[in-house]
Structure 1
């Protein structure tokens, strides 16, 4: 069953239908049976039947989800565990569905913003490769027959053309080896941590990724707190939905600070910020707080502090989530218009250099 193809769209439909029935007071097994017959989607029917059979055999929903790690994330499993512990399974299913829908909408916006620039890039690269492997060799033969002295730039372009035509198999092997090596290295916890940390430093994309993580953090922490879940448990559940080892490590540190008696705002780096404002010396052993401020912006810790002082923590987190969503929307809208001219100018420059290199000997012939 773990090999079943279950897309995010199918997962949303399954959880939405299942959750609606549970919220209506229908028992789990009966709800799964209705979900099966209501859907015409083969995968949703298979998932409904699998859940029903597993639950009837004595498993709980958490155990069923643990057997489907490619479909249900650690965040989903933690939420299901909370639902069973509190008796609010219908509400939990609704929350997971909302999370999946929001993540799907955000990823769709990013893909839509990138698809046109990516298409331009693919076409441009194809054009350059065609020129270098098909046009340049024909021009080279003309110049060889004419015994023309080739300028350095032309020799350089012809050299690249020779390399692409004669060594392409080694380039392909090197690319496959690099992708394979990266795939295996990505499974190493230390490599994954460094990768997740450094990717946040990328211009534009790093900012979008950071805001996406902060949206998950603020939205779902607010939702869990509004559901009456204690801050420690809420943070633990939110941590499982980060999908970024760097942020997961920082949330672990935040949890440790809260267990030691600190407030959430202090654990987010608010204490470090206040001491900086007072011009206090920060010791080397407190460098972790500086890293935490890099993860969680100053405005977030300050908003959390206001929420703690006024008893409206969840409300302040919701406001920050709205703000980050607006920031991401604005960045994505400008992304396509920003990247497109950069790609066009860059590829145009490369093609221009190639054409100039090809034409220079022709002018010498004239």
Structure 2
């Protein structure tokens, strides 16, 4: 599946533009035609839609909560969205809501209208709303989306707050090291003689001279690195690379796996509670997965379940999740209690995830202090040792 940028005309002649996920150009055009849109242009999107307008997640969550409340009151969907346009102060969000209102007024569903604005809303919102549209309980689906976003934001806020002090330490340490190499260490050049050319002090002075002589090249390389990282971020490759690296780290990979279990089990719980059959629930859940490797494994699992194999044995066959998860799911299938089974898995791994994040972040701070202190301390030890050795020679 690829992302395509499209420009089309609605039935009333107005322009509609956005993004759509499809397997090919023809598939994308067919989807747009099903939405009663007259295609003008469809081109592959190369940037994975990550560089959109900056909108606070709090604003999006508030918007979704208000939309659910208005919908519950019996107000028509287009009127609900129009009310949000009038009350929203954030310009990028208001512009997105205007486009969504235009799409809904022309006959498009809310899920499809939101899917065409992926720079504003998370990738999983559209597929989660389709469930509410199919079972007639759209407000509940909107609330589920808001709850998921709130969980993600709570975890992100906890991580950001815990990383504030270590980040401050790293910045201060980098500035101190740059100051030492730029202004302090070069002053020790006169202390280097034939007798101590092979000393640590001489190596430190040589390094400082190299940095100062090639500062323009180093700055240029750093700028190029920042540009390249931005390119990876915009193309979606940075997320995949970062996730692949995190999954190989001894302790962090367990946290990543715990988060994947929470996403899977919570989605399956809500879908099963709504009466969605197992294959469709798995398909919708898989559409909400951002990890490419997990996505491929779940596709294989869906194929096995369609063939008549149980979900627990299919997950176990492809080693999708830890053994305890597959055993709990298998026991839930045997006792016809999959909903309660998924609920317990979600609670268990949410607790593990919370405890694991706090433990990892509590260890991170002293580790950074030791590393940064070791770097600065080593430089100072070399400088002090050089001064002492010069004094001993003079004496």
If the length of structure 1 is used for normalisation, what is the TM-score?
A: 0.84
Residues 335-356 of structure 1: CA deviation (Å, up to 9, x unaligned):
3331122112222222222112
Residues 100-146 of structure 1: CA deviation (Å, up to 9, x unaligned):
111111111122222221221221122122112211112324x25x8
Aligned residue among 109, 114, 118 for 1:69 = 118
Contact preservation (8 Å) 1:151, 1:360: no
Check 1:190–1:74 CA distance in 2 against 1; reply closer, same or farther (3 A cut): closer
Deviation at 1:266, TM superposition (A): 0.6
Distance in 2 (alpha carbons) for counterparts of 1:346 and 1:127? 14
Work out whether 1:136 is the aligned partner of 2:185: yes
Check 1:204–1:122 CA distance in 2 against 1; reply closer, same or farther (3 A cut): farther
Check 1:44–1:356 CA distance in 2 against 1; reply closer, same or farther (3 A cut): closer
Structure 2: tracts of 5 or more residues without a match: 1-16, 19-51
Distance in 1 (alpha carbons) for counterparts of 2:183 and 2:79? 65
Question: Which residue pairs with 1:351 in the alignment?
Answer: 376
Contact preservation (8 Å) 2:229, 2:238: no
Q: Secondary structure at the match of 1:201?
A: coil
Aligned residue among 105, 108, 120 for 2:154 = 105
Contact preservation (8 Å) 1:117, 1:340: yes
Question: Which residue pairs with 1:89 in the alignment?
Answer: 138
Question: Which residue pairs with 2:299 in the alignment?
Answer: 252
Distance in 1 (alpha carbons) for counterparts of 2:353 and 2:137? 32
Work out whether 1:241 is the aligned partner of 2:288: yes
Work out whether 1:211 is the aligned partner of 2:236: no
Work out whether 1:159 is the aligned partner of 2:206: yes
Distance in 1 (alpha carbons) for counterparts of 2:161 and 2:54? 24
Work out whether 1:324 is the aligned partner of 2:373: no
Query: Aligned ranges for residues 114-193 of structure 1 at < 5 Å?
Result: 114-141=163-190, 143=191, 149-181=196-228
Work out whether 1:36 is the aligned partner of 2:85: yes
Q: CA RMSD in A?
A: 2.7
Distance in 1 (alpha carbons) for counterparts of 2:108 and 2:341? 39
Check 1:197–1:42 CA distance in 2 against 1; reply closer, same or farther (3 A cut): closer
Deviation at 1:17, TM superposition (A): 0.5
If the length of structure 2 is used for normalisation, what is the TM-score?
A: 0.78
Deviation at 1:221, TM superposition (A): 1.3
Number of residue pairs matched? 342
Work out whether 1:60 is the aligned partner of 2:85: no
Check 1:192–1:348 CA distance in 2 against 1; reply closer, same or farther (3 A cut): closer
Q: Secondary structure at the match of 1:262?
A: coil
Deviation at 1:192, TM superposition (A): 7.2
Check 1:4–1:125 CA distance in 2 against 1; reply closer, same or farther (3 A cut): closer
Deviation at 1:231, TM superposition (A): 1.6
Deviation at 1:296, TM superposition (A): 0.5
Deviation at 1:42, TM superposition (A): 4.4
More helix by share: 1
Distance in 1 (alpha carbons) for counterparts of 2:361 and 2:240? 29
Structure 1: tracts of 5 or more residues without a match: 273-288
